[in-house]
Structure 1
Amino acid sequence: MKKITTVSYLAACIALGAGSVQAAGFDIGGTNVTFGGYVKLDAMVTETSDGEIGNFLGRDFYVPSLTPVNPGADSATRFDMHARQSRFFFSTATELEDGNKITGHLEFDFMTSFNNNDERTTNGYSPVLRHAFIKYKNWTLGQTWSNFMDLASLPDTLDFVGNPDAAIFIRQAQVRYTHGNFAFAVENPESTVSPVGGAGRFTTDDNATPDFTASYNLKTDWGVVKVAGLLRQIAIDDGTFDDEVTSYGLSVSTKIDFANKDDIRITLNTGKGLGRYVGLNTVNGAVLDADGNLEAIDVTAFSVAYRHLWNDQWRSTFLYSTLMADNDTALTGVGATKTTQSYSANLLYQATKKLMVGVEYKFANREVESGADGDMNRIQFSAKYDF
């Protein structure tokens, strides 16, 4: 039986954004098993101009919707330190009797764990599923990055996402078929809806159909380009409200490589009812009117990141990211988020192939429809060991 190498399977995993590029492997019978991941420490000082970030996720990484906008509130400065982004994965690759290959991948981290998060004593956090998928021929089945998302355009930052104002950042269950540069998928549906007046949020899972995505990936000598489309249904049926509305979106992104090994990464996402797909769900997909009918909310988001290599060990990324929502304030009220934007710059030192340390500064602003806004300033230090 032909041996399936660790290197060949890792290439497939990296193409799907499955995990760290560092891995070790061994064979069990006819199955090649690889494992890897990284340990990462993050320490940050966060200052907010209009109140304190109340949700712990916004203290651990930048979440655009959590920048406080509380006119008249005092500013706040907080220090946080955690190792929750650390992750590990296991992958398998088996050659079948007919000569075809089947692969599997499981990956976990602790970043969004809501269990055992007691910082008084042990700081224990439960593992959280990131990826769980199998790959056979042209098919990918399981949970992984959405086909609507482009990993290549994500910036090289210390922050968990980097450009969440503009990024499509979704992992979910799906069935994907890939043919050449084209990929088509049916993906798990979920929607968020604002009640009339905009106070609160309904999270609905009342869809009769999955989310449909299609993408075209072009790889060239100078970089990569991805064009992706989304078509889905936003539905609510909770005994009080019963309606649905069509949502659609377009994503265009690129990573352009320069001769000096610098690169620029650009993403543009726009659509009607993008909701949870962009901005870490800063804006809901739709809003209910007084008659209980859904109206999709238009969103446009953009980011550009320039990565510069100072030498073989030092590098920096300079980033701008923004999201703009077109709210009908007669329905959403004036407390709905109108825009978010962030700037960041970092300096990263690759001490060895597997050890990186760095520092990053981020400024963020959120404005609501009333015109009120709030700022966030954050300095973050990180150390990361790939294994």
Structure 2
Amino acid sequence: MKRSSLFLALMAAGLCSLSGQVFAQSAQDFNDMRAELKALRAELDQLKAKQAQPAPAASAAAWNERLDTVELRQKDAVVLGDVPGSFRLPGSETSIRVYGFAEANLIKDFKSTAPGDNFSNLPEQPLASTHPSTGKNVLTGQTSRFGFETSTPMGNGAFNTKIEADFYGYCGSECNRNRLRLRHAYGEYAGWLIGQTWSTFMDLDNLPETVDFNGPPGATSRRPVQVRYTWNNPNLAKFQFALEEPSDGAHSPNLVARVDKGFDWGALNARILSHEQRVDGASKRGFGFGVGGSYKLTGSATLMAQYTQVDGDGDGAYLVGANYPVLDGGTLRLDRARGVVLGLSNAFSEQLRGTISVGTVRSTRRVGDAYVSAYGLEGNERLTQWHIGMYYLPIKNVELGTELMGGRRTTFGGDTGNLSRLNLQARYIFN
């Protein structure tokens, strides 16, 4: 483990060193270099044409020396890549983009703090009947991240790859997330994607921006390993089909299909899910579906909404806030949960933007139901959480965020736990 951590640290340092060397050159420097390369290629063609003509030995030697010089300069040139913010190394057709940000969050909890997470964790919010309302202050930079993307021209489009990590890997309540964590790692070509990235069932386009790292419950937030195929017909719609990493303990992969359609006024999507849940050898297959969309109210304001329903979620990620499956004797019971997320975003200027959002998830079970009897009265019947946040950009590549948020957890037994906090953030973006 120590060797692995050392390797990852050296890799990160190498990437940062590479980006520092390359991006120290301004965009104008790259443009000048690209123009010089174009001129060198033209001169090279002329030299080759003249070299083909008979010439004295001394003259031929001079031409050969000049030809070698031009070829060396051409190979040494580093130019802008095909992807915005990217570069190409000498002799390579692959565009490389290094990106990321360093950020710090100051969190002031006015109520009790849920265990195991610095950011919102409403499903485990302490209940008023068992925990006194005590505030807490947290200062963390663990959600800083880095990554790189590549794009290589191929016969049937570009071959793309992406690797991204942050420092928010969970390692138990004793250390409360302070390890390097893989977020994305995949390759993509000709409509196929293989690797780890956002679930095909997740409606990322209609998920409101929040300063809080976790955001509201009621939506999907999962990055499984998957095999996905995308067929995009601009005149019809975009269709996606995926086999995704099974939930904890399950044996068969999860199946996802979705369709997306864009319009001048916004966009719509529909998603379906079939997933296996397994507890102590008992297995049951659950179903899920979701719809989402956005509507452009003005040139700067957008309204977004999504609805998700899932039968049991062992990872709590296909529907954030859903109750886990439980084993009732020899029967595996799945809680059917329904989630809704609404958001309104507006860009007031190039320097200022804001979002208001609310998310809620509710169990369809009731007291006396076999599921509730097996799960207990402390299971969550309903979760509701709201956010009011703003981002201000004082200078290029710097974002300052502030957000007020609150929420309520209500159990099957009628007990409640309230969330109230302020989150301040400073983010420094590179590329």
**Could you tell me the TM-score, scaled by structure 1's length?**
0.82
Amino acid of the structure 2 residue aligned with 1:73: H
Gap change, CA 1:370 and 1:6, over 3 Å in 2? farther
SS in 2 for 1:159: coil
Residue correspondence of structure 1 range 128-277 to structure 2 within 5 A: 128-163=181-216, 165-180=217-232, 181-190=238-247, 204-207=248-251, 209-236=252-279, 238=280, 242-275=281-314, 276-277=316-317
Gap change, CA 1:99 and 1:364, over 3 Å in 2? closer
CA RMSD of aligned residues (A): 2.4
Task: Return the offset for 1:144.
Answer: 0.4
Q: Would you say how many aligned residue pairs link Structure 1 and Structure 2?
A: 341
Q: Is the 8 A contact 2:382 2:411 kept in 1?
A: yes
Query: As a proportion of its length, which structure holds more helix?
Result: 2
Task: Return the offset for 1:73.
Answer: 2.7
Q: Is the 8 A contact 2:269 2:292 kept in 1?
A: yes
Amino acid of the structure 1 residue aligned with 2:106: A
Aligned sequence identity (%): 23
SS in 1 for 2:378: coil
Higher relative contact order (CA 8 A, sep 6+): 1
Task: Return the offset for 1:34.
Answer: 1.1
Amino acid of the structure 1 residue aligned with 2:153: E
Task: Return the offset for 1:311.
Answer: 3.1
Q: Is the 8 A contact 1:115 1:126 kept in 2?
A: no
* 2:373 equivalent in structure 1: 330
Task: Return the offset for 1:116.
Answer: 12
Residue correspondence of structure 1 range 109-124 to structure 2 within 5 A: 109-114=166-171
Q: Does 1:66 align with 2:127?
A: no
Amino acid of the structure 2 residue aligned with 1:30: E
- Distance in 1 between residues matched to 2:115 and 2:317, nearest whole Å: 23
**CA offset digits 1:18-43 (Å, max 9, x no partner):** xxxxx443335232211101111110
* 1:26 equivalent in structure 2: 88
* 1:16 equivalent in structure 2: none
Which consecutive residues of structure 1, in runs of 5 or more, have no partner in the other structure? 11-22, 191-203
- Distance in 2 between residues matched to 1:371 and 1:133, nearest whole Å: 44
Amino acid of the structure 2 residue aligned with 1:336: G
**One of 138, 141, 157 as aligned partner of 1:80:** 138
Instruction: Specify the structure having the higher radius of gyration (Cα).
Output: 2
Q: Does 1:315 align with 2:353?
A: yes
Q: Is the 8 A contact 1:26 1:34 kept in 2?
A: no
- Distance in 1 between residues matched to 2:101 and 2:388, nearest whole Å: 23
* 2:385 equivalent in structure 1: 342
* 1:195 equivalent in structure 2: none
Which consecutive residues of structure 2, in runs of 5 or more, have no partner in the other structure? 1-77, 233-237, 366-370
**CA offset digits 1:332-381 (Å, max 9, x no partner):** 22111111111111222122342111210000111111100010100010
Q: Is the 8 A contact 2:310 2:319 kept in 1?
A: no
Query: As a proportion of its length, which structure holds more strand?
Result: 1
**Could you tell me the TM-score, scaled by structure 2's length?**
0.74
- Structure 1 residue ranges (4+ consecutive) displaced by more than 4 angstroms after TM superposition: 3-8, 115-119
